[in-house]
């Protein structure tokens, strides 16, 4: 929703921060699932991991990309697109294509595919790192230290690019090598001090958790208020990763308290179920309404969300659920 509102032009809503939350959540969720597998079996299966990912990620990914292409060929979206950009999106390197050639060649509304390219690159590497840590019988605290150390290395690399090489904003914002830490922070929360696996749920947070959460909010505000470009392309992402750490912890451990209570409402949970398809579809629908519906911006955005929601429900029912059944059937026999 942060990404949608930001792309729809809502004031004071940074879509880029929504992507950072998306990365953090992805790292936390997937590593929690890997940890459960490791604790149950003593190891993780890379074959099973990638099989699950193929059935989960690729069907909606290619369906929406094809949908945007058809709308473009029909003239519903701007026809100006590059075949090379389309190939880059289909093969999951659109972020580096954009860094080299700019955003102009992309199909209308498919700009968000850069973030999926970052994710695909990350998950080509991270499961093997985690499997090695499990094989080496590293304690969760040691795994946590390793992952935070990798976050520090990414920060150092990003800072060198920003301060030493003077790279553009796009280079550090959408480069895989410069954004891996957003997912690594979530992975670190999963391996040690995990609010689901290492703590019992509680009705209310204690004073230490409240202080940590207040510190997280303060860091987020600082990351938004400091407008210096060098800071924004380097340190800001690390501050946001650190800030999200206590906020995720307190929200997940206390699901019946304030934000957690809202996020666990049935309608909100259903939107969460649709979140991947909504993420893929929302900008396409924003482009469709902006180009074809002569209404005020707020009305266009509302219509775009309604269209995205209806299409996402259809994708969940006819694409994601059948894919989940296939995933379960094929993964049952994978060692």
Least confident of 22-26, 28-32, 91-95, 100-104: 100-104
- Give a yes or no: residue 147 inside a domain: yes
pLDDT category at 13 given cuts 50, 70, 90 is confident
Using the Cα atoms of residue 70, residue 74, residue 75 and residue 81 in order, give the sign of their dihedral: positive
- CA-CA distance, 165 to 192, in Å (whole number)? 36
Classify residue 334: in a domain, yes or no.
Answer: no
Interatomic CA distance for residues 3 and 329, integer angstroms = 34
DSSP string computed for 28-73: HHHHHHHHHHHHHHSS--HHHHHHHHHHHHHHHHHHHHHHHHHHHH
Residue 254 domain-assigned (yes or no): yes
Give the whole-angstrom CA distance, residue 150 versus residue 44.
21
Q: How many CB atoms neighbour CB 37 within 10 A?
A: 16
Position 96 scores a pLDDT of 96
pTM of the full structure: 0.94
Residue 268, in any domain of the structure: yes
Give the structural domain span for 72.
2-322
Mean per-residue pLDDT of the chain: 94
Q: In this predicted model, what pLDDT tens digit does every residue of 210-266 receive, in sequence order? A: 999 999 999 999 999 998 888 888 999 999 999 999 999 999 999 999 989 999 999
pLDDT at position 270: 96
Residue with tokens 């955005």: 301
200: left (phi over 0), alpha (psi -120 to 50) or beta: beta
Residue pLDDT, tens place only, 14-53:
889 999 999 999 999 999 999 999 999 999 999 999 999 9
How many domains does the chain contain in total? 1
Least confident of 59-73, 222-236, 300-314: 222-236
**332 domain residue, yes or no:** no
CA-only gyration radius of the chain, Å: 20
In the prediction, which pLDDT does 335 show? Answer: 45
Provide the pLDDT for residue 70. Answer: 96
Within a domain: residue 243? yes
Within-domain flag for 331:
no
Instruction: Choose between 303 and 233: higher pLDDT.
Output: 303
């Amino acid at each position: 929703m942060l990404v949608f509102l930001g792309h729809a032009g809502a004031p004071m809503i940074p879509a880029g921060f929504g992507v950072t939350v998306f990365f953090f959540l992805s790292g936390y969720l997937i590593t929690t699932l890997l940890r459960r597998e490791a604790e149950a079996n003593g190891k993780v299966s890379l074959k099973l991991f990638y099989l699950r990912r193929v059935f989960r990620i690729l069907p909606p990914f290619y369906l929406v990309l094809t949908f945007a292409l058809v709308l473009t060929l029909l003239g519903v979206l701007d026809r100006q697109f590059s075949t090379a950009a389309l190939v880059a999106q289909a093969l999951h390197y659109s972020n580096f294509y954009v860094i080299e050639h700019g955003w102009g060649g992309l199909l209308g509304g498919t700009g968000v595919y850069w973030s999926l390219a970052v994710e695909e690159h990350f998950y080509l590497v991270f499961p093997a790192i985690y499997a090695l840590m499990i094989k080496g019988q590293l304690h969760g605290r040691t795994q946590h230290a390793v992952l935070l150390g990798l976050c520090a290395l990414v920060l150092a690399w990003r800072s060198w690019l920003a301060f030493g090489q003077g790279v553009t904003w796009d280079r550090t914002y959408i480069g895989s090598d410069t954004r891996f830490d957003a997912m690594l922070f979530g992975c670190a929360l999963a391996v040690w001090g995990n609010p689901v696996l290492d703590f019992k749920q509680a009705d209310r947070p204690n004073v230490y958790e409240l202080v940590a959460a207040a510190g997280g909010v303060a860091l987020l505000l600082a990351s938004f208020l400091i407008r210096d470009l060098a800071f924004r392309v380097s340190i800001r992402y690390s501050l946001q990763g650190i800030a999200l750490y206590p906020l995720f912890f307190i929200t997940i451990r206390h699901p019946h308290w304030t934000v957690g209570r809202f996020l666990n409402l049935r309608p909100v949970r259903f939107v969460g179920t649709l979140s991947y398809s909504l993420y893929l579809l929302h900008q396409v629908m924003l482009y469709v309404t902006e180009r074809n519906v002569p209404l005020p911006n707020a009305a266009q955005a509302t219509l775009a969300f309604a269209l995205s929601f209806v299409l996402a429900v259809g994708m969940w029912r006819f694409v994601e659920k059948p894919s989940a059944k296939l995933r379960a059937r094929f993964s049952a026999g994978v060692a």
